């Protein structure tokens, strides 16, 4: 029986490319997002290349909390198991604090953190019932430090999801489930996607979607605890971002 992987936010960008690459590795796929027409097109594309691949799709808005539980359990029933869940769905919008755009910051906070929390709850219900599974949380290099301007709320949510995963890993440590339920946090740098369109022209560090996701997939397959992806230059940048004096940090970001 093929391994199964559930990917949220799979209709475009990193989620869609992860689906392609995991499909090529032989995984059966559970794909969900709000834009079902894109999911259907992606399913046709993947099954056109790999005719024996099972690809289940469902419409899902992660802010519809009961629907998240229904979707995750439904996928588990349909595919027989969930070996991995990738918490990927998120928003990149935001505004400077105190400039009248609380609505944008609230939407990002609810989608990126509360939405990640409900996905983690649903995934862990499945994993605890199976007594096995691999949870993958997609954070961001911006989680390394508080970010200024329109990035402030986004970075805070990504730090939050990383801590959520770390707390879960700490809980499982030393228990009989430690080796049966694995937790990975990915910290992507600049990888070409719809979310990064605004910064694409302003940085030479942008990786292609295929290359960036290949690094993500490799880290997931190794079931590492944490990974900055792609590793160059982000693994070296991480301690600098964490510990640089504020004047230097501001120049870097």
pLDDT in tens, 128-176: 999 999 999 999 999 999 999 999 999 999 999 999 999 999 999 999 9
Q: Give CA–CA dist 144/151, Å, rounded.
A: 12
Domains of the chain as residue ranges with CATH? 4-252 (3.40.50.720)
Walking along the chain (253 residues) 10 residues at a time, the average pLDDT comes out as 94 96 98 96 96 96 98 98 97 94 97 98 98 98 93 97 98 96 97 64 78 97 97 93 84 75
Per-residue pLDDT at 202: 52
d(CA 117, CA 125): 12
> Is there a catalytic annotation at residue 187?
no
Question: What is the pLDDT at residue 196?
Answer: 54
Query: Which of 27, 154, 187, 190 does the annotation list as catalytic?
Result: 154
Specify whether the CB–CB gap between 79 and 128 falls below 8 A: no
CB 135 within 8 A of CB 183: yes
Ramachandran angles phi, psi of 163, nearest 5°: -70, -35
| Backbone region of residue 224 per phi and psi (left: phi > 0; alpha: psi in -120 to 50; beta: other values) | beta
pLDDT for res 203? 66
Residues 76, 123: Cα–Cα separation, whole Å: 10
């Amino acid at each position: 029986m093929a391994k199964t992987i559930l990917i949220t936010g799979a209709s475009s960008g990193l989620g869609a490319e992860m689906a392609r690459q995991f499909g090529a590795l032989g995984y059966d796929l559970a794909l969900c997002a709000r834009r079902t027409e894109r999911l259907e097109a992606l399913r046709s594309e993947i099954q056109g290349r790999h005719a024996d691949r099972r690809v289940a799709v469902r419409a899902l808005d992660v802010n519809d909390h009961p629907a998240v539980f229904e979707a995750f359990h439904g996928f588990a029933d349909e595919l027989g198991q969930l070996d991995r869940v990738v918490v990927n769905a998120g928003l990149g919008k935001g505004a400077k604090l105190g400039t009248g755009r609380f609505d944008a910051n609230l939407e990002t906070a609810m989608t990126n953190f509360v939405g990640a929390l409900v996905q983690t709850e649903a995934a862990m219900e499945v994993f605890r019932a199976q007594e096995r599974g691999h949870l993958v949380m997609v954070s961001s290099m911006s989680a390394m430090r508080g970010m200024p301007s329109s990035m402030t709320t986004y970075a805070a949510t990504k730090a939050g999801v990383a801590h959520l995963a770390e707390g879960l890993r700490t809980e499982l440590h030393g228990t009989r489930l430690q080796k049966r339920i694995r937790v990975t946090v990915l910290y992507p740098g600049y990888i070409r996607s719809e979310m990064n369109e605004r910064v694409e022209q302003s940085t030479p560090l942008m990786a292609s979607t295929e290359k960036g996701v290949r690094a993500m997939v490799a880290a997931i397959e190794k079931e590492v605890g944490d990974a900055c992806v792609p590793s160059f230059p982000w693994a070296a940048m991480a301690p600098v971002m964490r510990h640089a004096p504020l004047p230097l940090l501001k120049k870097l970001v």
